[in-house]
Amino acid sequence: RKEVEQDPGPFNVPEGATVAFNCTYSNSASQSFFWYRQDCRKEPKLLMSVYSSGNEDGRFTAQLNRASQYISLLIRDSKLSDSATYLCVVNIFGDYKLSFGAGTTVTVRA
Amino acid sequence: DVKVTQSSRYLVKRTGEKVFLECVQDMDHENMFWYRQDPGLGLRLIYFSYDVKMKEKGDIPEGYSVSREKKERFSLILESASTNQTSMYLCASSPLGSNGYTFGSGTRLTVV
């Protein structure tokens, strides 16, 4: 079983729509959680960290559910520039490295 | 602007060649990582290093080795390139105690 699993999508949404997707993680010792964004043929870049209480960054809202071992990302008022692959990333307590999901592709159309 | 620089953007090598992928960071980060990224599989960790001359195997180290002689430089070596090592290779670094990775722009390696 993969450590981090995501629905690959693609999620095709019109501009202005809300889109949400989840990822699940298998290791209950996971401590830190992130969403990275990766544009086509570019490197991943940190979008936001995910905190236990949930957090917002502008139009982006991240939630963590430790009991069910999933995190979610919601994008409100989608823009064309939000088209990207969103990587769910997890860190296990005491570990140097991050574990990446395969990504969820979002395409926002005009 | 802080950076992780990978020496080549695109590389084509022949089967059996020894291949060197170089990564340099200018942020004085302790941790450095090599990942490969393949469609549907996501990023998989090959090797990482948390200090000069220190290295740890990741999830898929077979067929690879690494070298970290200086803090800023982390090299990935394919001892004898094979076609199944055709992939996008991403280097990343992070400071000690942080999960904040900075990635290089990647090297797309094709082995023919």
- Convert the pLDDT of each residue in B45-84 to its tens digit: 999 999 999 999 999 999 999 999 999 999 999 999 999 9
User: Å from B20 to nearest chain A CA?
Assistant: 20
Average pLDDT on A38-50 reads: 93
Q: Cα–Cα distance between A105 and B3 in angstroms, integer?
A: 26
CA quadruple A68, A73, A77, A80: dihedral sign: negative
Closest residue on chain A to B33 (Cα): A97
**What pLDDT, on the 0 to 100 scale, is given for residue B2?**
63
In this predicted structure, what is the pLDDT of residue B1? 65
Q: Give the confidence band of B96 by pLDDT, cuts at 50, 70, 90.
A: confident
Q: Which residues of B, range 11-70, sit inside 8 Å of A by Cβ?
A: 31, 33, 35, 40-43, 45, 48, 50, 56, 58
Nearest CA in chain B to A105: B40
Question: Given an 8 Å threshold on Cβ–Cβ distance, is B101 in contact with A46?
Answer: yes
* CA gap A70, A74 in Å, rounded: 13
Distance from CA of A103 to the nearest CA of B (A): 7
Inter-chain touch B42–A46, beta carbons under 8 Å? no
pLDDT confidence of A30, banded at 50, 70, 90?
confident
- Neighbour tally for B69: CB within 10 Å: 9
Q: How close does chain B come to A51, measured CA to CA in Å?
A: 14
**In this complex, how many residue pairs, one in chain A and one in chain B, have their CB atoms less than 8 Å apart?**
40
Per-residue burial over A50-62, b if 16 or more Cβ lie within 10 Å, else e, is beeeeeeeeebbb
Buried/exposed code over B94-104 (b: 16+ C-beta within 10 A; e: otherwise): beeeebebbbb
CB–CB of B43 and A96 under 8 A?
no
